[in-house]
Amino acid sequence: MNLKLPRPVVETITVTMDDAQEEKYVAYVKAIEAVIADTNPKGSKNVILGLLARLGLVALHANLDEGYTFEIAREGGQASRTVYDEEGNSAQITVDLPRPVYDSPKLVECAKRIIASPHCGHIVFAEPTAVHVWMKEVLIEHGIPAERIAWLNSSVNTLERTRIARDFNGLSSETPAPGTCTRPSDSASIPKYDVVIANSVAYEGIDLQVRTCSIHHLDLPWTPADLEQRNGRGVRQGATFPVINIYYYFADGSADGYRFSLISGKAGWLGEVLKGSVRDTNNPGAQQQLSPEDVLLMISRNKEKTRALLEAKREEAALEARWRVVKEANQLLRQAVARFAWARTTQDPENAARLRQEAEDRLTELQQVDPEVWPWAPWMYAARDVDMIVGRSWAGPVYEGLRVSRPRLGASDKFDYLEFGRVRLVEGNEEIGIRAAGEALWQLVRPAELTPEIQPADMPREGGPRWPEDDDTATDKALEARLGSERPIRSLQDLTWDRASDAFVEKFWPRAATKIRDALVRWAPRSPTEDRFPVESADRLLLRGAADLGDADLIPPTRAGWVRYLELAPSSRQSFDKLDQVARHWWSRGLPRSLLADARRAEPAKVAATAEAPATTPAPPPKAATPPPTPPPSPPTKAAPALTESDAEKEARLLKSLADAVTGALRAARGPS
């Protein structure tokens, strides 16, 4: 259905603000710039929004931000005013306002255009009702009779609004009698009003199209729908004039363009939208698009300063956004690290599988993080096998076995090579062993204290600096010097190997085991403690003091050695406390609490199983295509009575409990397979 609509002709009128407006504008812009420059603002968003709203009021009239209302706009009086504190909190105060000056540049420009066409209908839109009073006074000053001007705002009731609309259109104010088919032309009357000053009250249900020749926007609403409602009061079917002028009044260097841009952006003026319900009448800015930064630059009286402030603010916002991503990614990695660690220590296979899957899910999620922001994904997979410390800063994770190379401070053409060892919990803080290439001793550090922080370029990667080839030779020399010195060696702690990576100890223990044992023996008479050391002899575990080591073979202080210790401990007939003391002293690990108890509970089942088993004679090797002979059954032994079914089930459960406990402890001890 084609509707015959008048053709809108849009014109933007730019006016220069008067001195009073400019003075207030400068003050408000400075306040906005101060908020932007504040490095730690509180409530800055509310403050800026409030200041921008005041800028819009001042652009319309210099006194509009002071609290004038419809009731006191003509003569002044008491008014309630909103004020804001430094944190953006608002409060209401009462002030006495004097009689204002009615005119302003926008109102004067509007009056000039109305008086140029005094015999057709004009709609003037402005949301603040105080402006309605001032606009009427300015129109009167320019020659429009007061009785030819009407208001459509909240001061007028619904019935009066309908009457005003009909009197503006030149229609009878009396509604047609029920059942009649009277048309507007049949009820024509002499128009009473030439100008209607309106706000959002007139957006719907008010038709003013019959005599409208011009629509004047002293301000703009915030949404395209509201702007369409404004223009739709006159640009609609039934209009008398084939062309309707639409004027938008902008104060030069003001925030008016900001509303322009917002409406344009929200309506999506170009392309398909123009073919729909949003018409050119509602798009004074057409293709103009302004960002908030553009707006602040537009209203600024010191553009270079504002541009610098905005750039600093933009960088700060970008840094904050990056930091939020980093924190969230670090938290995800910490969760994965914890679950992998629990999976390595739990004795429940199903629970271990669940924990590993949860950890893998988090690694998958971390793969989606922008590597420009969080670049640590290539190294996060080490958490599957070893303990890892994930910091709470920009620095990357560190873990046992990690080797990094980074430019030396003050000599960027040279590198420092660092290897990380075991993760330890010291007084509630995570610390990790660390050594420089060629050194035999390890230190404990908190990763956050490393200066400078670990960077992606420091991490092992293809094409990166190679680990020094002389590391083994230099470390051997350093270790030999330490063992030959007069500094006591009464434990691995004196060598700092309790902090070393397992790979390091695996490599250097075979080379230094005899010298370390001899050093322990040499310093035994002067040792203030009676520490015992784990020795294996004929598949048996012995716990010996340093003075009694002789030429015994110490069980290596490695993961493999820990596994062997757990295998031998149950049959050593040593107390749990002694075994645990040696475990903590030699491996810095606690003995599994249930290891010995489960072994003791399992022993009767082993005896019973042996008693029940028939004695057999080994069968000769089978010949080709000849089945092996079946040995004759031996008579059952009378060493123990046959187990009942329930007893067998009970013993099986005990055996499984022991097996699970030992298997879990061995799995944790072995670490990565």
Contact 230, 217 (CB under 8 A): yes
How many domains does the chain contain in total?
Answer: 4
The residue to which tokens 């100008």 are assigned = 195
Give kind and range of the element (H or E) at residue 522.
helix 502-523
Interatomic CA distance for residues 654 and 672, integer angstroms = 28
Q: How many residues does the chain have?
A: 673
pLDDT tens-digit map of 208-217: 999 999 999 9
Residues 372 and 270 in one domain: no
Among residues 256, 359, 261, 254, which one has the least CA distance to residue 300? 254
In this predicted structure, the answer to whether residue 660 has a pLDDT above a threshold of 60 is: no
Here the tokens at position 646 are: 């329930």
In a domain, 673, yes or no: no
Among residues 580, 486, 597, 478, which one has the least CA distance to residue 534? 580
The residue to which tokens 């300015």 are assigned = 138
Interatomic CA distance for residues 74 and 173, integer angstroms = 30
Contact 129, 153 (CB under 8 A): yes
Give kind and range of the element (H or E) at residue 7.
strand 7-15
- Mean per-residue pLDDT, 357-386: 96
pLDDT tens-digit map of 397-421: 999 999 999 888 878 788 999 999 9
In a domain, 28, yes or no: yes
Q: What is the 3-state secondary structure (H, E, C) of 54-74?
A: HHHHHHHCCCHHHCCCCCCCC
- Picking from 529, 544, 572, the residue at the C-terminal end of a domain is 572
Interatomic CA distance for residues 123 and 229, integer angstroms = 13
pTM comes to 0.56
Ramachandran assignment for 79, one of left (phi > 0), alpha (psi -120 to 50 degrees), beta (any other): beta
Interatomic CA distance for residues 671 and 399, integer angstroms = 14
Residues 339 and 425 in one domain: yes
The residue to which tokens 């991490």 are assigned = 459
Residues 200 and 334 in one domain: no
Residues 506 and 566 in one domain: yes
- Mean per-residue pLDDT, 104-116: 97
pLDDT tens-digit map of 382-397: 999 999 999 888 888 9
Among residues 241, 263, 232, which one has the least CA distance to residue 250? 263
- Picking from 247, 281, 308, the residue at the C-terminal end of a domain is 308
Residues 480 and 438 in one domain: no
Interatomic CA distance for residues 547 and 533, integer angstroms = 10
Interatomic CA distance for residues 132 and 142, integer angstroms = 15
Residue 406 sits in which domain range?
322-458
Here the tokens at position 99 are: 């009689």
pLDDT tens-digit map of 637-655: 333 333 333 333 333 343 3
Q: At 109, which CATH number?
A: 3.40.50.300
Residues 490 and 568 in one domain: yes
- Start-to-end C-alpha separation, the chain: 78
**31 confidence band (pLDDT: 50, 70, 90):** confident
Ramachandran assignment for 401, one of left (phi > 0), alpha (psi -120 to 50 degrees), beta (any other): left
In our burial notation (b when 16+ CB lie closer than 10 A, e otherwise), range 286-311 reads eeeebeeeebbebbbeeeeebeebbe
3-state secondary structure of 551: coil
CB atoms within 10 A of CB 449: 8
The residue to which tokens 């409530």 are assigned = 43
Residues 270 and 337 in one domain: no
In a domain, 600, yes or no: no
Residues 126 and 59 in one domain: no
In a domain, 628, yes or no: no
- Mean per-residue pLDDT, 259-283: 44
pLDDT tens-digit map of 458-483: 999 888 889 999 999 999 999 999 99
Ramachandran assignment for 413, one of left (phi > 0), alpha (psi -120 to 50 degrees), beta (any other): alpha
pLDDT tens-digit map of 437-455: 999 999 999 988 887 888 8
DSSP bridge partners of 11 = 247
Contact 380, 459 (CB under 8 A): no
- Mean per-residue pLDDT, 244-252: 93
In a domain, 593, yes or no: no
Residues 148 and 287 in one domain: yes
Residues 248 and 117 in one domain: yes
**426 confidence band (pLDDT: 50, 70, 90):** confident
Contact 338, 346 (CB under 8 A): no
Interatomic CA distance for residues 131 and 73, integer angstroms = 8
Residues 135 and 84 in one domain: no
In a domain, 588, yes or no: no
Q: For the residues of 352-382, what is the DSSP string, one character each?
A: HHHHHHHHHHHHHHHTTS-TTT---GGGGGG
Interatomic CA distance for residues 543 and 535, integer angstroms = 6
**624 confidence band (pLDDT: 50, 70, 90):** very low
In a domain, 633, yes or no: no
Give residue 281's pLDDT. Answer: 46
In a domain, 595, yes or no: no
Residues 36 and 85 in one domain: yes
The radius of gyration of the chain from alpha carbons, rounded to an integer in Å, stands at 44
Ramachandran assignment for 609, one of left (phi > 0), alpha (psi -120 to 50 degrees), beta (any other): alpha
* DSSP classification of residue 548: G
- Picking from 67, 97, 127, the residue at the C-terminal end of a domain is 97
Contacts of 501 (CB under 8 A, 6+ apart): 400, 401, 419, 420, 421, 422, 433
Contacts of 315 (CB under 8 A, 6+ apart): none
Among residues 545, 543, 550, 544, which one has the least CA distance to residue 569? 543
